[in-house]
Amino acid sequence: MIKKISSRIWKFSYPFTSSSNVYLFKSEDHFILIDSGDNSIKEQLKKEIEKITSLSNIDTILLTHLHYDHIGNLDLFNHAKIYASKKEIDSYNKSPDSTINGFEVKGYDIIKEKNLKINELPSEIHGIKVIDVPGHTVGCVSFYLEKDLVLFSGDHIFDKDFKIIGRSDFKNSEPNSYSESLNKIKKLNYKILCPGHDYI
């Protein structure tokens, strides 16, 4: 299901699946994807994105974290440079199975299967600020589009009132940092929240 969030942001959501939300952002010179969902929605995601732009036009993919339900379709975007935080990349390299957290998931390790290069996120990229929010995972990040007052929170928070937050009991979680990360997000001025899943 496609939903237009603003004049340059689209949301792709998949009720009744385990897949995360996927967002497409059009900057002045770039088409940027935020997360890629899990591989069960691959064909549907491909068709929906192509209603907006060619897959080859997407040149940047920003990952909030490296759980399987956020990385499953990276192989659709052969022309894109993929980014995640250094802490998240290091955590994945030490324990690739942390992407599935004990769930039975087929084809989860697309990074190794397709020999994908994951680049380290800078503090800002294409006008998007990168906010470190360890908790759900050790290297979890949110993306803040200050000009548009939009926050892409990943699985860090799911509502503006901070009543629904991400789990922090996974192998690669960092629960002791969650409170500090929440306080960091509360200080941001945003009007539109784009969470990793629709839990509200």
| Residues 127-146 pLDDT 10s | 999 999 999 999 999 999 99
- Contacts of residue 152, defined as CB under 8 A and 6 or more positions apart, other chains included, come to 23, 34, 62, 64, 142, 143, 144, 145, 194
Question: What confidence score (pLDDT) does residue 111 get?
Answer: 84
Question: What confidence score (pLDDT) does residue 108 get?
Answer: 57
Domain ranges of the chain: 2-195
- Contacts of residue 65, defined as CB under 8 A and 6 or more positions apart, other chains included, come to 84, 85, 88, 136, 137, 139, 140, 141, 154, 155
Question: What confidence score (pLDDT) does residue 100 get?
Answer: 63
Where helices occur in 126-192 by DSSP H, the ranges are 178-186
| pLDDT at position 199 over 90 | no
Each residue's pLDDT tens digit, 65-104: 999 899 999 999 999 999 999 999 999 898 887 766 555 5
Helix (H) or strand (E) holding 113: helix 110-113
Each residue's pLDDT tens digit, 52-70: 999 999 999 999 999 989 9
Residue 168 contacts residue 178 (beta carbons within 8 Å): yes
pLDDT band at 107 (very low <50, low <70, confident <90, very high): low
pLDDT band at 15 (very low <50, low <70, confident <90, very high): confident
| Distance in angstroms (rounded) separating the CA atoms of residues 21 and 194 | 8
pTM given for the model: 0.95
Domain 2-195 has CATH 3.40.50.300: no
Averaged pLDDT for residues 146-174:
94
- Contacts of residue 179, defined as CB under 8 A and 6 or more positions apart, other chains included, come to none
